[in-house]
Amino acid sequence: MALDFTVFLLDDDAAVLKAVGRLLQAAGYTTKTYCSAEAFLSEHDASTPGCLVLDLAMPGLNGLAVQEALALRGTDRPIIFLTGRGTIPESVQAMRAGAVDFLTKPVGNSELMSAIKSAEDRDRTQRPIVTQRKIVFQKMAKLTRREKEVLALVVTGLQNKVIGYKLGVREKTIKVHRSRVHQKMGVRNLAELVRMTVAISW
């Protein structure tokens, strides 16, 4: 268990929040509870390591809507659904959207703890990758439109002459653009540039 790992609990049932919160705190986890989706989303900080234990059926935004809202923000927060009224189509939708698990109330302590451990492992694995992706996107944002076009063609292995033909510019101009792409992306050669673009392709 990571000391900086927080389990966010979102459920409109105060009794569930209290019971699950006590269980997790006894196991050494830091918890933060919310009784409405709007309250959670309004102050959610994606940079905080952790997972979300999420009720499916809630007034206002339901659990699937919260999962979608986080995805639209580009937040890859591991989610465990915990519900008393879940259907098979809903569970399939949640899992296809990346949920760690879909548990039915009342859930056994060991089953919940196992799911949270899986979420913790996923967060620890994904977080460095997500951070790297953000860095790459920030660098790409500094490229001009033409430099982005050159980048897209360079990483396919095309020679400057061919790229120039495709873009309708001289080979010498492509060399200048390519040099600027390398400089702005902070790479020394084509291999590093390819690895960087592969990191954002998943």
Structural domains in the chain plus CATH codes: 6-129 (3.40.50.2300), 142-198 (1.10.10.10)
Range in 35-39, 89-93, 121-125, 165-169 with the lowest mean pLDDT: 89-93
Contacts by 96-99 with C-beta closer than 8 Å and gap 24+?
Answer: 97/64, 97/67, 97/68, 97/71, 98/67, 98/71, 99/67
pLDDT at position 131 over 90: no
Q: How far apart are CA 9 and CA 39, in angstroms?
A: 12
DSSP string, 64-120: HHHHHHHHHTT----EEEEESS--HHHHHHHHHTT-SEEEESSPPHHHHHHHHHHHH
User: Residues 6 or more apart from 109 whose CB is under 8 A from it?
Assistant: 23
H helix or E strand, kind and range, residue 157: none
Mean pLDDT across the chain:
91
Q: How far apart are CA 173 and CA 161, in angstroms?
A: 10
Residue 201's pLDDT is: 64
pLDDT tens profile 188-198: 999 999 988 88
Confidence band, pLDDT 50/70/90 cuts, at residue 85: confident
Residue 87's pLDDT is: 72
Residue 60's pLDDT is: 87
Q: Which residues of 127-155 are buried (b: 16+ CB within 10 A; e: fewer)?
A: eeeeeebeebeeebeebeeebebbbebbb
pLDDT tens profile 156-188: 999 999 999 999 999 999 999 999 999 999 999
Residue 49's pLDDT is: 94
Residue 22's pLDDT is: 94
Section 29-43 average pLDDT: 95
How buried is residue 169: exposed, middle or buried, by Cβ count under 10 Å (0-12/13-18/19+)?
A: middle
DSSP tally for the chain: helices H, then strands E: 9, 5
- Are 50 and 8 within 8 A, CB to CB? yes
pTM of the model: 0.70
Residue 1's pLDDT is: 61
Q: Does 106 sit behind a cis peptide bond, omega within 30 degrees of 0 on the bond before it?
A: yes
pLDDT at position 92 over 80: yes
